[in-house]
Chains A and B, each alone.
Chain A
Amino acid sequence: MAAATVENWSWFTALALGVSFLKCLFISAYHSTDFEVHRNWLAITHSLPISRWYYENTSEWTLDYPPLFAWFEFGLSHVAKHFDSNMLVVENLNYASPSTVLFQRLSVIFTDVVFIYGARECCRCVKEQKGSRDVLIWPSFILAVLLLWNFGLLIVDHIHFQYNGFLFGFLLLSVAKHLQSQHLQGALLFSVLLNLKHIYLYVGPAYGVYLLRSYCFTQHNKDGTLQWRSFSPLRLLALGSIVVSICALSFGPFIAMGQLPQVLSRLFPFKRGLCHAYWAPNIWALYNVLDKSLAMLGVQLRLLKEADLPRASMTGGLVQEFQHSVLPSISPPITFLCTLLSILPAVASIWLRPQGARGFLRCLVLCALGSFMFGWHVHEKAILIPILPLSILAVESREDARTFLLLTTTGHYSLFPLLFTPAELPIKVVLMLVFTIYSFCALRKLYSGQGSLLHPLEVVYLLGLVAVAIVCEVIFPLSPWQQKLPFLPLLATSVYCAVGVCYSFLRLYMSLLRQQEKHKQL
């Protein structure tokens, strides 16, 4: 350990292997219905012809990822048959034999190799600080821990069960390629990613504008404004052909079979409600609570009659369709508009004044966070999309480190309700502590000598999370309210976290504007 140097990447191997072993320990832990979702997709892609993939509906968990992911499952299924071929039968609903569990868990752990590779490429792009001998506080080491040992990714992928690590691998690789100025490869990887999981469309605007502005235009004026004459049609053509060919590869067969409308209807189901069963900590969680408090206030002040209010709008906490009683109801086009408005300044700024790949990365984080804040039916897991790329910025600038600490701590805490089984409680608490202690101590040490990283009020807010955690996880389940108001801890968690996420969003925007100012002064 003492002999390790920046060139010697043995510490990276140790980190990656260590976390992989840890993942293996969670094989027999609780897994959510997503486990059955993916088992079902294995079965569908393995035993049905392509033309039936997007029509099959024996299970309620129909295939709703883009075709490349279906092909990925198809590939996995050929390994799966050596473990237990019964899992590949579509009718075997909720099939979870020990070898099925083993196979599915191992498939997540092994496909994480893509993520490990992506993280390594990102670590290579980090600017090193010379002089420090303690390997634990090298920027590249910190980044490697923040990515590989990310708490959210560990519990969502390896306990809850999903393939996010594999997908984020593509995202990180593509970001790293842009940081290394290999834009075509970056674009290729991103279009593959889009065809694996379409949720990454959220960050599409950042990619589109950045590539168009900084790749297709080869030069810009001295003040950073656009030089129209430097447009290179050849580059646009190359870029376009890459994207189109990947999409053609993925969607081509379905277009040829005339199934495109069916595929798209599976990919974009707008029948769901504004918020997921458990509200993601975004602006709509605050909006819902405001609406409910106003309604209650109205009833108290006799301004509203209880009978007029929509029934059971909140008591369940699990009601999918949400009717607002006082404030206007929100429809998908409104959320779409809000999302667009929220990311517009960020996208405009990289068009007007591009600041290289790091400006692009900031814009990407803002797009991801903006759509998390204002999107329709957002899952709490989507908070990982801004958190992971933000890690890269956090080890390079003090301001971003501050935002990162706020966003990750609240965002990660908001994932707690994902694991509600008592046996997994110690794991989630301890892993969260490990990640939080490390990120705070390492980043503080990295930027030591420049004052404290967080404002005292922010510290108080974050410490409040501890109180929320104790009340929600320990005190409330033991109290009599557990029977009457089971949704209350979820509500408190999402509202409390929403405040932190909104604040981080604003801070991130402020740092963008500040960078613009700095740029102007130069």
Chain B
Amino acid sequence: MQTWSVVSICVLLGIVVRWGVSLNSYSGAGKPPMFGDYEAQRHWQEVTYNLPLHEWYFNTTDNDLNYWGLDYPPLTAYHSWICAYIAKMINPEWVELHKSRGYESPTHKLFMRATVLVADLLVYIPAVVLYSLHLTDGSSNKKVSTLFCFLLYPGLILIDYGHFQYNGLSLGFALWGVLGLGLGWDALGSMAFCLALNYKQMELYHALPFFCYLLGKCIKRGLMGRGLFLLVRIAATVLVTFALCWLPFLPDPNQASQVARRIFPVARGLFEDKVANVWCSLNTVIKIRSILSSDSQLYFSFACTLLAVLPSSIRLLMKPTFWQFKLALANSSLAFFLFSYQVHEKSILLAALPVCLLLSDLPLIAIWFLQASTFSMLPLFMKDGLLMPYAVTWLAFLFLSIYLLSALEHCSEEKLRLVAYYKLIFCLSKMEMACTVRWKFYISIAVMAGLSIASVILVPPPHLPDLFPVLVSTTAFLHFLGTYIYFTIVQFSGPPSRKSQKKNN
């Protein structure tokens, strides 16, 4: 069959799954007074539509920052403003100042869900299609399989279409950035990444690899000759893009600094809820928040993050190939997730995106990590009433991706890119390596499934009310740490198999 027809069928199925999930509940549905992220997004529409731009980020009589105040960069605000205009046309009650607080109705839900779908159709899905068709190798069937799995990654679907957020936009822009760099359009790529950064500040998780890759490329071309030209061009693009995004806020320094303060709230503590990162997992053993002052917590976590990011960044700087870039993206976002300050459980999506990029190269590990990342958000899904779509998409992704990418057949040392290390350390034979990895995978999937079922069915003992969330986050943390270590090893081991190296250079 022609590729276009298979691709369009895959995309359409991706849309059906997204819409199927969106029929379910959203965060904070019918839970006054604060509701949830759905209300936050609606509130931003209300604020941006009714208030002048210079009041958006300030606490005024009409803008109570304690009630879902705007805390994302300007692009998010502009996006809310556009959505608000459309909302106003359909039903003015949806964005009426003050009166629309906590507005909920089936039609409004339909509208909000549709805005997410439109954003996805415009930004995320085209980027995924282009990436899978142009930057992965293999037969056209394999490319389409990768595309299908990429589109079906449950974590993003459940957060965007269930919980309610617009991660598809920020991740989509970042993906366009990756696409630009991969195809050699460095300036366009960096512009797309700047847009991502200006949509959600969390995209900083990906910033270092972008920076190192481009800098490394310039150095390789010779900082005195063509490299310098490239560097200037990229720097100019970045500056112009940033300036355009911040244009309305720039004239008044007060404005810009207030926006920056809103975006980086350092006062909120090392971590909230149960996040599958180092600090939260360490908390079960050492109460780190009571030992260190909040300032030293900040510096300590900053130092740890830097330490964790450095190896992959330096390696990328020395060896700026696309393969290294993809690995560095995964490593850097994982390092930020594991060690940085004030991490949300949803931030794992930032690490999931680069891992999705590796679906065709390292299928088993990628699927494994993606399953764990979706699993790590289980407490959130339970709170939002998304258990059924969680179970369905989790199982469907597990089954379909393993089948389509024949993941279980690709776990010899060579396929896992671990030849040198395993020969050095374990002296295991080929068969055993593949076998142990497979068994570890089965056991880990069984543990995740078991814990999911247990958290739904069992009642925790009264003196340990958080038993299951803690178990979930610790299990997920172990997976994330393991993936981080694995990707670092792969990044430092020799170049990938000859075929992909040829492609990437």
Q: Which residues of A contact B (CB under 8 A)?
A: 1-3, 10, 14, 17-18, 21-22, 24-29, 102, 134, 136-137, 422-423, 426-427, 430-431, 433-434, 437-438, 441-442, 445
Q: Please report the C-alpha to C-alpha distance between residue A422 and residue B107 in the assembled complex, in whole angstroms.
A: 9
- Contact, CB under 8 Å: B5 / A427: no
- Contact, CB under 8 Å: A134 / B388: no
Q: Please report the C-alpha to C-alpha distance between residue A24 and residue B23 in the assembled complex, in whole angstroms.
A: 12
**Residue in A closest to B404 when the chains form the complex, CB atoms:** A1
B residues near A24, Cβ cutoff 8 Å: 388, 392
* A interface footprint on B386-402 (CB within 8 Å = 1, 0 otherwise): 00110011011001100
Q: Is the interface of A mostly helix, strand, loop or mixed?
A: helix
CB distance from A214 to the nearest CB of B (A): 37
- Contact, CB under 8 Å: A1 / B1: no
Interface check B12, CB cutoff 8 A: yes
CB distance from A505 to the nearest CB of B (A): 29
Pull 12 A–B residue pairs with CB atoms less than 8 Å apart, ordered by A: A1-B142, A2-B406, A10-B403, A25-B23, A26-B20, A29-B20, A134-B1, A423-B110, A427-B16, A434-B16, A437-B5, A442-B1
- Contact, CB under 8 Å: A28 / B6: no
A residues near B142, Cβ cutoff 8 Å: 1-2
* B399 touches which of A17, A29, A137, A423 (Cβ 8 Å): A17
* A22 touches which of B1, B6, B16, B106 (Cβ 8 Å): B16
A residues near B35, Cβ cutoff 8 Å: none
B residues near A423, Cβ cutoff 8 Å: 23, 106, 110
Q: Known A1-B404, A28-B24; judge A426-B388 contact (CB<8 A).
A: no
* Residue from the set A29, A137, A441, A442 with the largest chain B CB neighbour count within 10 Å: A441
* A interface footprint on B8-31 (CB within 8 Å = 1, 0 otherwise): 110011011101110110000000
- Contact, CB under 8 Å: A434 / B403: no
Q: Please report the C-alpha to C-alpha distance between residue A72 and residue B5 in the assembled complex, in whole angstroms.
A: 41
B residues near A25, Cβ cutoff 8 Å: 16-17, 20-21, 23, 389, 392-393
Interface check B293, CB cutoff 8 A: no
A residues near B9, Cβ cutoff 8 Å: 434, 437-438
Q: Please report the C-alpha to C-alpha distance between residue A18 and residue B15 in the assembled complex, in whole angstroms.
A: 15
**Residue in A closest to B400 when the chains form the complex, CB atoms:** A18
**Residue in A closest to B111 when the chains form the complex, CB atoms:** A422
B residues near A102, Cβ cutoff 8 Å: 388
Kindly list 4 other residue pairs between chains A and B, CB separation below 8 angstroms, not including A426-B19, A430-B15, A430-B19.
Answer: A1-B406, A2-B406, A17-B396, A437-B9
- Contact, CB under 8 Å: A136 / B392: no
- Contact, CB under 8 Å: B20 / A22: yes
Q: Is the interface of B mostly helix, strand, loop or mixed?
A: helix
Interface check B141, CB cutoff 8 A: yes
A residues near B5, Cβ cutoff 8 Å: 437-438, 441
- Contact, CB under 8 Å: A27 / B388: yes
Number of A-B residue pairs having CB atoms within 8 Å of each other in the complex: 90
* B1 touches which of A21, A427, A434, A441 (Cβ 8 Å): A441
Interface check B117, CB cutoff 8 A: yes
A residues near B16, Cβ cutoff 8 Å: 22, 25, 426-427, 430-431, 434
The number of chain B residues touching the other chain, given as a range, is 35 or more
Q: Please report the C-alpha to C-alpha distance between residue A14 and residue B400 in the assembled complex, in whole angstroms.
A: 7
B residues near A14, Cβ cutoff 8 Å: 399-400, 403-404
A residues near B12, Cβ cutoff 8 Å: 430, 433-434, 437
**Residue in A closest to B394 when the chains form the complex, CB atoms:** A21
CB distance from A388 to the nearest CB of B (A): 21
A residues near B388, Cβ cutoff 8 Å: 24, 27-28, 102
- Contact, CB under 8 Å: A21 / B19: no
B residues near A430, Cβ cutoff 8 Å: 12, 15-16, 19
Interface check B2, CB cutoff 8 A: yes
**Residue in A closest to B21 when the chains form the complex, CB atoms:** A25
B residues near A442, Cβ cutoff 8 Å: 1
- Contact, CB under 8 Å: B117 / A1: no
* Residue from the set A1, A24, A25, A29 with the largest chain B CB neighbour count within 10 Å: A25
Segment 371-425 of B: residues with Cβ below 8 Å from A = 388-389, 392-393, 395-396, 399-400, 403-404, 406
* A interface footprint on B113-143 (CB within 8 Å = 1, 0 otherwise): 0000100000000000000000000010110
- Contact, CB under 8 Å: B23 / A18: no
Interface check B145, CB cutoff 8 A: yes
- Contact, CB under 8 Å: A422 / B20: no
Q: For the complex of A and B, list the 7 residue pairs with the smallest distance between their C-beta atoms, beginning with the closest.
A: A25-B20, A21-B396, A441-B5, A24-B392, A434-B12, A426-B19, A136-B1
* Residue from the set A18, A426, A437, A445 with the largest chain B CB neighbour count within 10 Å: A426
CB distance from B164 to the nearest CB of A (A): 15
Q: Please report the C-alpha to C-alpha distance between residue A2 and residue B389 in the assembled complex, in whole angstroms.
A: 30
Q: Please report the C-alpha to C-alpha distance between residue A438 and residue B7 in the assembled complex, in whole angstroms.
A: 11
Q: Known A2-B139, A438-B9; judge A445-B1 contact (CB<8 A).
A: yes
**Residue in A closest to B114 when the chains form the complex, CB atoms:** A426
Q: Please report the C-alpha to C-alpha distance between residue A445 and residue B1 in the assembled complex, in whole angstroms.
A: 6
**Residue in A closest to B391 when the chains form the complex, CB atoms:** A24
Q: Please report the C-alpha to C-alpha distance between residue A22 and residue B392 in the assembled complex, in whole angstroms.
A: 8
CB distance from B39 to the nearest CB of A (A): 20
* Residue from the set A10, A21, A28, A437 with the largest chain B CB neighbour count within 10 Å: A21
Q: Please report the C-alpha to C-alpha distance between residue A435 and residue B106 in the assembled complex, in whole angstroms.
A: 29
- Contact, CB under 8 Å: B117 / A28: no
B residues near A431, Cβ cutoff 8 Å: 16
A residues near B141, Cβ cutoff 8 Å: 1-2, 134, 136
CB distance from A157 to the nearest CB of B (A): 15
